[in-house]
Amino acid sequence: MESPGSLDSAPPAEPIAGGILRFAPGPIGPTLDPTSTQFTAAERTVTNTVFDTLTAIDVDGRPVPYLAEAIEPVFGDLSIWRMTLRPGITFHDGTPLDAAAVVANFEAQRADPALGVVIRADYVEVGPAITVDERTVEYRLRDPNAAFAARLAGPEGVVASPTWLAATVGNPDLRAAPVGTGPFTFTQRSDRFVRVDRNPEWWAGEVYLDAIEFITEVEATGLSAPELLAGGDLDGMQTADPTAVTELLEIDATTTIDVADEVALVVVNTESPPFDDVRVRRALALATPLDDVRSALGGARAVAATQRFAPDSRYFEPGLRQIGDTPERAAPLIATACSERRDQCVDGRIAIDLPYPVETVPSAAIDALVEGWSTAGFDVNVQPLDDAEHRSRIGLGEYDATVWQQFGATDPAVDNAWLLCRSVGRVSLNWPRVCDLERDAQLLEAQSTSDPATRAPWYRSVSTAMTDSFAYVFLAHEEWAYGFAPNIGGVCGRTAPDGAVLRCTSPSGGTWLTSTWFTG
């Protein structure tokens, strides 16, 4: 396993300026607006070329200023932070990057029905982000948060042109053509590819490539992405598909496997009867065919998960186990629940609606779940959806169980939105809709300090509470493979303005191609 966010680059060689990199990130949705879309791994890789973030994460997992020149708490108060921008940066459309632009992005996210859930929950209601001067924004949080700077390396820190954002209100089609401050400018899009061209005025340094063509639809060629890479029709690719990972490792390519904390899991809606009954949720966990599902998710390379944290995390709780593979133990629980909830069962069996995102979850994993759960006494209604519709349905609570990937933030405090009681509402980021006030108190205590030794007992206790709720069935830790042709260099040369070496992969999947070049 490679260190998180570190890719093996090609042997040292002199970079050659120019060339068009052909990269297969996976399918992307119609909207690339960071104020209204939770990006997939493929969308992150594409938009990372167009947008920059206020902070970035270095290879040691620490946030460092990026578009920001500085960020620090006001007089040591971890609930009030001031961020000062670097001077002289402009968006691709000529709009200046200033405090007003940052606040405009913040307010657009806050107003969004889905993305705004976490902002409305975590910031004060009045004046959550205000301009102090032309280059300074003050953020006001509900609770002290030592990890706040890390949040600005993620979706909250992506800054789009406010001129473009205003234009999208009257013309939503413009959301497909983003405008940022990044190393490349968006120039062309079709059903099968997206093209971005080098930004000669990028504020952060030299860009070697002339352009990148993202091949977002490879199936029409009749070949897999690894086959296209091996044949010279691609220069790079990323994938979490176990079959594609195996293919990629067998060809002549510079390939790295990146395993992060993000975990594939079953999420159960605890507000949807009869899954509001912990016995039914326990039965679902017992009936889950863990070995078969993990094999479908990651093949022989699957990294089994027992909790949100990977085994090499300092917050891993070694005493936890994920129950499963025992449908015979599930059947009596279903029988007891059905004897008490006759109106929620049919002939002693429980119906379960299972929507899932077809772009990110292999159908073989769903097939394995259906077989295991059916054996125990569940009748499964499978509902394949695209990523956007899936997120909408789950956020609204229109499901019984789903399969997804979560909890991949570099700093676990950034993932609190998926867990806190205040993230439950009409639209919920707390997908299982579990409210545990004791757990919330531990999460907020943990985010109030950056000391790992102090945080560890709280995070381990939270992991135990998550297991005991049976609202999650932990399957496997996400494994992403990134492959490049032998003549591609600089694949992990991304640095901050102060020289800090930065992560070049996202813990939730996706990479940056900022420093990439051809060797010849």
Tell me, yes or no, whether 280 and 343 share the same domain: yes
Last residue of a domain, one of 138, 163, 179: 179
Per-residue pLDDT at 14: 79
Residue with tokens 């949100």: 308
Can you tell me the mean pLDDT for 22-34? 94
Can you tell me the mean pLDDT for 493-520? 92
The Cα–Cα gap between 420 and 434 comes to 8
Tell me, yes or no, whether 395 and 411 share the same domain: yes
**437-443 own/partner pairs: CB under 8 Å, 24+ apart:** 438/465, 439/465, 439/466, 443/413, 443/416, 443/419
Tell me, yes or no, whether 32 and 61 share the same domain: no
- DSSP string computed for 92-127: TTS-B--HHHHHHHHHHHHHSTTTHHHHHHHB-SS-
Tell me, yes or no, whether 128 and 165 share the same domain: yes
Nearest alpha-carbon partner for 182 in 164, 195, 199, 205? 199
Tell me, yes or no, whether 286 and 403 share the same domain: yes
Phi and psi at 244, nearest 5°, equal -65, -35
User: Is pLDDT above 70 for 4?
Assistant: no
Higher-pLDDT residue of 384, 359: 384
Reported confidence tier of residue 12, pLDDT bands at 50, 70, 90: low
Phi and psi at 117, nearest 5°, equal -60, -50
Give the three-state DSSP class for 227. Answer: helix
Tell me, yes or no, whether 93 and 195 share the same domain: no
Tell me, yes or no, whether 309 and 428 share the same domain: yes
287-316 tens-digit pLDDT? 999 999 999 998 778 889 999 998 989 999
Per-residue pLDDT at 261: 66
Per-residue pLDDT at 409: 87
User: Is pLDDT above 50 for 9?
Assistant: no
Tell me, yes or no, whether 403 and 414 share the same domain: yes
147-205 tens-digit pLDDT? 999 999 999 999 999 999 999 999 999 999 999 999 999 999 998 999 999 999 999 99
Query: What is the CA 500 to chain-centroid distance, rounded?
Result: 23
The Cα–Cα gap between 337 and 21 comes to 57
| Percentage, residues of the chain above pLDDT 90 | 82
CATH number at residue 510: 3.40.190.10
CB 392 within 8 A of CB 364: no
Identify the domain containing residue 441 by its residue range: 260-479
* 38-42, 239-243, 272-276, 312-316, range with greatest mean pLDDT: 272-276
Per-residue pLDDT at 508: 84
Tell me, yes or no, whether 266 and 212 share the same domain: no
Tell me, yes or no, whether 221 and 279 share the same domain: no
Residue with tokens 């022989």: 300
213-236 tens-digit pLDDT? 999 998 878 899 999 999 999 999
Write b or e for each residue in 146-182: b if 16 or more Cβ atoms lie within 10 A of its Cβ, otherwise e: bbbbbbbbbbbbbbbbbebbeebeeeeebbbbbbbbb
Nearest alpha-carbon partner for 158 in 188, 189, 181? 181
Tell me, yes or no, whether 415 and 466 share the same domain: yes
Reported confidence tier of residue 241, pLDDT bands at 50, 70, 90: confident
CATH number at residue 265: 3.10.105.10
Residue with tokens 């004046």: 127
262-294 tens-digit pLDDT? 899 999 999 999 999 999 999 999 999 999 999
| Percentage, residues of the chain above pLDDT 70 | 97
407-436 tens-digit pLDDT? 988 899 999 999 999 999 899 999 999 999
Tell me, yes or no, whether 437 and 301 share the same domain: yes
Q: What is the largest CA-CA distance in the chain?
A: 73
Number of separate domains in the chain: 3
Q: Which of 11-20, 42-51, 277-286, 427-436 has the lowest mean pLDDT?
A: 11-20
The Cα–Cα gap between 485 and 253 comes to 5
CATH number at residue 91: 3.90.76.10
